[in-house]
């Protein structure tokens, strides 16, 4: 059995910050510099390398005005366990 991936506290804080933004009436935030979101884009869209901000904006354009929700899904696509899941 392999250990689950380790996630830094800073990564969790960034993710929680994005969820808070979504809940505070900011449903259209796309954090193009967030490594977890970039890796989610890379994995989900089968990209050979981490996407640049411009590519992420182009891909996420159809998500408007709910890009914060898309951000959440990009994080979740990585299989990162969140503290409230008790893993």
CATH of the domain at 39: 1.10.1670.40
Number of domains in the chain: 1
Residues of the chain with pLDDT below 70 are 1-25, 81-87
Quick check: is 3 in a domain? no
Quick check: is 87 in a domain? no
Quick check: is 54 in a domain? yes
Distance of alpha carbon 58 from alpha carbon 81, whole angstroms: 28
Quick check: is 40 in a domain? yes
pLDDT the model gives residue 30 = 92
Quick check: is 1 in a domain? no
- Which structural domain range is residue 15 located in? 9-77
Neighbours of 73 (CB within 10 A): 12
Quick check: is 29 in a domain? yes
User: pTM score > 0.85 for this model?
Assistant: no
DSSP 63: G
In the chain, the DSSP E strands lie at none
Comparing CA positions, the residue from 2, 34, 4 lying closest to residue 17 is 34
pLDDT the model gives residue 21 = 54
């Amino acid at each position: 059995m392999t250990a689950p991936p380790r996630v830094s506290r800073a990564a969790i804080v960034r993710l929680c910050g994005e969820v808070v933004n979504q809940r505070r009436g900011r449903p259209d935030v796309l954090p193009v510099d967030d490594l977890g979101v970039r890796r989610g884009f890379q994995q989900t869209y089968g990209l050979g390398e981490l996407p640049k901000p411009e590519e992420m904006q182009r891909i996420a354009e159809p998500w408007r005005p709910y890009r914060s929700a898309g951000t959440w899904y990009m994080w979740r696509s990585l299989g990162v366990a969140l503290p409230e899941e008790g893993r």
